[in-house]
Structure 1
């Protein structure tokens, strides 16, 4: 019926295929972000891969002080299976009426 001199049919087919393809997952390491690393650091990798394997280079080098887990199974003390229920990290911020200036003098 018409001649495709410019190859537009192939371009349109490529655009349709690209629109159907899933978008790549952006990289974000929550561990590095919460530790205050620069944006270019925490957006350069993911905390864990699709299979649950630790990908963060900082966390992979960390050794759990309770169970010794590192590399693929690395975790912090907060997420260690040996940590007792009710554990509160010393780094956690608390707000109280005394700290806010509302306590008795």
Structure 2
């Protein structure tokens, strides 16, 4: 086999490898999206079973985790003045008065 032919074969295999890596990445994104949808649906169903006080505290924690201004606007939430502080509260880094609120399984 000539060197030129080997270069063509190598290029074809490299292209196939790139295609396979892209396919795996697409599958991972789909799985991540599906996971988010399933957890979100399960969370929303669970929230319905909580007392009014527990529901308010739980939703406040979730709302605090939504920091993107476009996402907050879409959900009808007020804009955050200090999103870093809100994220820290949700993750338990800052002392949180609602620490006994139910935690989400994916945080």
| Fold conserved between structures, TM > 0.5 | no
* Structure label with greater radius of gyration: 1
Q: TM-score, normalised by structure 1?
A: 0.30
- Higher relative contact order by CA 8 Å / sep ≥ 6: 1 or 2? 2
Q: Which has the higher helix share?
A: 2
